[in-house]
Chain A
Amino acid sequence: MFKIGFVILSIHLLIAVTGPFWAPFHYAQMGAGKPLLGMNWINFFGTDHLGRDVFSRVVHGSYMVISLSIFGTMIGLVIGSFTGLLSAYIGGWVDEFVQRFNEALISIPFLVLGLLAILVAGPKLSGEPILMALAVALVYAPRISRISRSAALDIIMSDYVIVARLRGESALSIIWREVLPNISGTMLVEFAIRAGFAPILIGSFGFLGFGIRPPFPEWGSMINDYRPFIFISPITVIGPALALSSLVVSLNLFTEGLARLLGTSRKEIK
């Protein structure tokens, strides 16, 4: 199972990296064919209402989706892990406050939170890819913080950390030597799971109209744009939908395999 995921994922990655070089058309190029042509040998996914080749658009959009997903999740991971870890170590009021804060952020439905971030960003950032990544990070940070906190707590309670404390080691030394190496496994799996879901998040933003500024071929906004033409040329919608779904499926399969390998139990709390 996991192997299938790996294969599909590799294909996606390959396309993402090399795609722009060999895609038959540029994504903004109109006149790649008559508008709303169905599937044909030139246009694998047909053409959209402006006459652009859908397949090329999908290919061009690929690297953005993947890199934004990874980048955004990474930022969220770094922020979340550190806040969770420190919160667990320091304890007391600080810990209580961070917990409440995280809970509050999580209570806002994740999509809404992302939209909020996009709204707040102001005109300069609006429509920029980096905003997508930041929105993803904002959604993920509190959730990752919760998980990193509970993982860190487990470790902090263990005897070998008490040994280090009895030795008189500084807090920094304990966190670096004893805690971090032991939560890295859990956090790696967390990263993979969240990164797997990130394309959906980004796609949702695009779908609702808050994605990257057109004419950039972001898959979510493409699906939204082509929805009105679904009866005429369904392939325009199915193409990017297939791309998005297959990417996420492959990421999820890969993550399952990774988790099983590392033997961690995944308790997915969104």
Chain B
Amino acid sequence: MSTNLTNRKNKILLEMKDIKINGFADGRWHEIIRGIDLKLNRGEVLGLIGESGAGKSTMGKAAMGYAQPGCKLISGSIIFDGIDLTKITDAQKRKIWLTKISYVAQSAAAAFNPAHKLINQTIESAKRAKLGTEISLKNDAIELYNTLQLPIPNLIGERYPHQVSGGQLQRIMTAMAISPRPELIIFDEPTTALDVTTQVEVLTAIRDIIKKFNTAAIYITHDLAVVAQMADKIKVIRYGKEVEEATTAKMLFDPKQEYTKSLWSVRSLTKPEEKSSNTILSLKNIDAAYGKSKVLFDISIQIPKGKTLAIVGESGSGKSTLAKVITGLLPQTNGKISYFDKELHPKLKKRNKEQLRVIQMIFQMPDTAINPRQTVQEIIGRPIEFYHGLIREEKMKRVIELLNMIELDETYLNRFPFELSGGQKQRICIARALAANPELIICDEVTSALDQIIQEGILKLLQKLQKELGITYIFITHDIATVRAISDQIVVMNQGRVIEQGMKSQILNPPYPEYTELLLSSVPEMDPKWLTNLLIKRSNLKDA
């Protein structure tokens, strides 16, 4: 590790010029990257932002000279530390990957070999490059685990991947990346799949490590607030081309392009809360279990008619299970569900058609929620026929009416799901739910799988429909920003229990119960100092 850092910081580490990459899918070649330049100095951190499909992951991999199966570099040069990566052999490239460039994948669980111990995998590259003896490398790894704030650092390496949690795995993968002390680490969406509270830990770990060893990094993500915590400069890409690049501070407070501005605006979508006069659905003392393991404990919630109740929680909180209980897919082991004072039978099979009609559900993944062999007309038409008995012309009229409601038109009638985008498919799911004329719609993470801008469109649509039709929503999500945007009331859940419930203003303002505090404070904000401040605050709390 060199000590004279300031001097070296001015030397250019990586220079990518006019990169063009094509990818092979569905039988033809598509353009993925259409000419992007990238420059990175030693010790500098670049945040690469874009929506899914923008090409950021491909670009990140290209930075190390790697084209994944199905991709080809058409033109451009990649000069790393003076060497053009496009002109060397595979073996030479591998040598560089061994000690100079590391890659941290999005899914740590898939990137580790399930059959080998973690510590062995951590030091594998360094060992291969003979950077030290096995003992010294192992000790170094334990040091790294310590810096990364992993529990029992001297023993955790002896475990196998399936024995540690997702957040821990991600940190161990970071240790693995840093072990050979590379010049550059490429982080490919490392926290995207993690809970927001775990994300804080991993972010801190990554930031500390690259600061400590003065490693250059490319941090790929779609979340600006996250990347703002550690990037020196940020580059936004869309459809394989660069939109804008600027230093972090400038990008946050003074973005130039419309597209960049629109990426931030979702978080400013908001709605004034409203109280309701009626309770449409009431859950009293609900317990539920999968086999012998109990997952819901004494849940009591009142859902306000015509308004939006958001159920917030992280993975494992039980919120999706609650949706299953309400619809009758998973009968509760205890407790009562009442629709307007009439009790609903716990089992789906025992409820009558009318009871089934008034409660509808929309799922997270529009791809799997629609039958790929049915046309839009059939998908929306079926509930119309099933519940209201309409056929032929009348049915068609209603289908078109619904299409208009979801802001699509007749040209979609005979299309199949594979011809539609994610956002369009989700709208079809909404139309399908509306076709029944329901009173209550359960939205189970309906925007979580969509890009930011599409999300905004769906949320706006849902709000419009509520205004026009007076539908009640139970909106299940893990994203606080969305909750702020659309809810009237909020229920916070953690590990199968209700932590608190009440009006939005009440929940989102202090004082908070401990978990709510943890949850809310873990949401990254558009301030480069956010993480630092958070850590200071939390350590103060710990000492106090």
A/B contact in complex, CB under 8 angstroms: yes
Residues of A within 8 A of B (CB): 158-160, 162-163, 165-169, 177-178, 181-182
Instruction: Verify B368–A166 contact, CB threshold 8 A.
Output: no
Is there contact, CB below 8 Å, between A168 and B368? no
Q: A166-B329, A169-B386, A181-B373 are in contact. Are A159 and B356 (CB under 8 A)?
A: no
- Measured CA separation A225–B102 after assembly (Å): 69
Instruction: Specify which chain A residues have a CB less than 8 angstroms from the CB of B374 in the assembled complex.
Output: 181
Distance A160 CA – B383 CA, assembled complex (angstroms): 13
Q: How far is the CB of A164 from chain B (nearest CB, A)?
A: 8
Instruction: Give complex CA distance A167, B361 in Å.
Output: 10
Nearest first, the 9 closest Cβ-Cβ pairs linking A and B are A159-B369, A181-B373, A168-B356, A159-B368, A160-B371, A159-B363, A158-B368, A168-B353, A160-B370
Given contacts A166-B327, A166-B356, contact A159 B365 (CB under 8 A): yes
Q: Which residue of B lies closest to A162 (CB)?
A: B329
Asked whether B372 is an interface residue with its Cβ less than 8 Å from the other chain, the reply is yes
Chain A residues contacting B371 (CB-CB under 8 Å) are 160, 177-178, 181-182
CB of B432 closer than 8 Å to a CB of A:
yes
Set of chain A residues within 8 Å of B382, measured between Cβ atoms: 167, 177
- B453 in the interface, Cβ–Cβ < 8 Å? no
378-421 of chain B: CB within 8 A of chain A: 382-383, 386-387
* Docked complex Cα distance between A160 and B373 (Å): 11
Residues of the A chain whose Cβ atoms lie less than 8 Å from the Cβ of B436: 167
Selected A-B contacts with CB under 8 Å, 26 pairs: A159-B363, A159-B369, A160-B369, A160-B370, A162-B329, A162-B363, A163-B361, A163-B363, A163-B369, A163-B432, A166-B327, A166-B329, A166-B356, A166-B360, A167-B356, A167-B383, A167-B436, A168-B351, A168-B353, A168-B386, A177-B382, A178-B371, A181-B371, A181-B373, A182-B372, A182-B373
The prevalent SS among residues of B at the interface is: mixed
* A165 B373 Cβ-Cβ under 8 A: no
Docked Cα-Cα span, A177 to B436, in Å, equals 18
CB-contact partner of B386 in A158, A167, A182, under 8 A? A167
Min CB distance B406 to A, Å, is 16
- Assembly CA distance A177 to B370 (angstroms): 12
What residues of A have a CB within 8 angstroms of the CB of B328 in the complex? 166
* B348 interface residue (CB < 8 Å to A): yes
Main secondary structure of the interface of A (DSSP, over half): helix
A159-B365, A163-B369 are known contacts; what are 4 more A-B pairs with Cβ within 8 Å? A160-B368, A163-B363, A167-B386, A182-B371
B533 shortest CB reach to chain A, Å: 41
Contacts of B360 in A (CB 8 A): 166
Q: Are B348 and A166 in contact (CB under 8 A)?
A: yes
Question: How many residue pairs bridge A and B at CB < 8 Å?
Answer: 44
Is B369 a contact partner of A165 (Cβ separation < 8 A)? no
- In angstroms, Cα B329 to Cα A177, docked, is 20
A182 to B372, CA, bound (A): 8
| B386 near A166: Cβ-Cβ < 8 Å | no
CA distance A168 to B354 in the complex (A): 10
Report the bound CA distance from A159 to B417 in whole Å: 14
A240 to B253, CA, bound (A): 82
Of all chain A residues, the one with the shortest Cβ separation from B365 is A159
Q: Is the CB of B361 within 8 A of A166?
A: yes
Residue of B nearest to A159 (CB): B369
Q: Which residues of chain B (344-376) have a CB below 8 Å from chain A?
A: 348, 351, 353, 356, 360-361, 363, 365, 368-374
Of A163, A166, A181, chain B has the most CB atoms within 10 Å of the CB of: A163
Residues in B with CB closer than 8 Å to A177 are: 371, 382
Taking the closest CB of chain A, its distance from the CB of B196, in whole angstroms, is 25
Encode contact with A along B139-168: 1 for CB under 8 Å, 0 otherwise.
Answer: 000000000000000000000000000000
**Which B residues are in CB contact (< 8 Å) with A181?**
371, 373-374
Q: How far is the CB of B261 from chain A (nearest CB, A)?
A: 35
In Å, the complex CA distance between A182 and B328 comes to 26
Q: With A and B bound together, what is the CA distance between A178 and B386 in angstroms?
A: 15
CA distance A243 to B266 in the complex (A): 69
- Residues from chain B with a CB closer than 8 A to the CB of A160 are 368-371
Interface hub of B328, B351, B368 (most chain A Cβ within 10 A)? B368
A165 touches B386 (CB 8 A): no
Set of chain B residues within 8 Å of A178, measured between Cβ atoms: 371
Chain A residue contacts of B363, Cβ below 8 A: 159, 162-163
Which residues of chain A are near B329, meaning CB under 8 Å?
162, 165-166
Q: Smallest CB–CB gap between B253 and chain A, Å?
A: 42
Query: How many angstroms between the C-alpha atoms of A160 and B374 in the bound complex?
Result: 11
Using CB atoms, name the residue of chain A closest to B436: A167
Contacts of A162 on B, CB cut-off 8 Å? 329, 363
> Which residues of chain A have C-beta atoms less than 8 A from B383's C-beta?
167
Q: Which of A166, A169, A182 has the most CB of B within 10 A?
A: A166
Interface-central residue, A159, A165, A177, by most chain B CB under 10 Å:
A159
Instruction: Find the residue from A167, A169, A181 having the highest chain B CB count within 10 A.
Output: A167
- Of all chain B residues, the one with the shortest Cβ separation from A163 is B369
A166 — nearest CB in chain B belongs to which residue?
A: B327
Give the complex CA separation of A55 and B329 in angstroms. Answer: 65
A174 to chain B, nearest CB (A): 10
- Collect the chain A residues with CB atoms within 8 Å of residue B387's CB: 167
Q: B351 contacts which chain A residues (CB < 8 A)?
A: 168
Please, how many angstroms separate the alpha-carbon atoms of A16 and B327 in the complex? 58
Contacts of A182 in B (CB 8 A): 371-373
Q: Tell me how far the C-beta of A151 lies from the nearest C-beta in chain B, rounded to whole angstroms.
A: 14
**A141 to nearest B CB, angstroms?**
26
Across-interface contacts of B386 in A (CB, < 8 A): 167-169
Residue of B nearest to A158 (CB): B368
**Which of B329, B370, B373: most chain A CB closer than 10 A?**
B373
- A168 and B355 alpha carbons, distance in the complex (Å): 10
Query: CA of A145 to CA of B348 in the docked complex: distance in angstroms?
Result: 29
- Are the C-beta atoms of A165 and B365 separated by less than 8 Å? no
- In the complex formed, the residue of B with least CB distance to A179 is B371
B381 → A minimal CB distance (Å): 12
Q: In the complex the two chains form, what is the Cα distance from A118 to B486 in whole Å?
A: 70
In Å, the complex CA distance between A181 and B416 comes to 14
Which B residues touch A168, using CB under 8 A? 351, 353, 356, 386
Q: Which residue on chain B has the smallest CB distance to residue A165?
A: B348
Determine the chain B residues whose CB is within 8 A of the CB of A165 once the complex forms: 329, 348
A197 to B386, alpha carbons, bound, how many Å?
44
| Neighbouring A residues of B365 by C-beta, 8 Å | 159
Query: Measured between alpha carbons, how far is A165 from B330 in the docked complex, in Å?
Result: 13
Task: Kindly state the separation between the CA atoms of A169 and B353 in the bound complex, as whole angstroms.
Answer: 9
- CB of A72 to closest CB in B, whole Å: 29
A163 to B433, CA, bound (A): 10
Residues of A within 8 Å of B361, CB to CB, are 163, 166
Nearest Cβ on chain B to A85's Cβ, whole angstroms: 16
Give A178's nearest chain B residue, CB to CB.
Answer: B371
A130–chain B nearest beta-carbon distance, Å: 35
Note all chain B residues with C-beta closer than 8 A to A158: 368
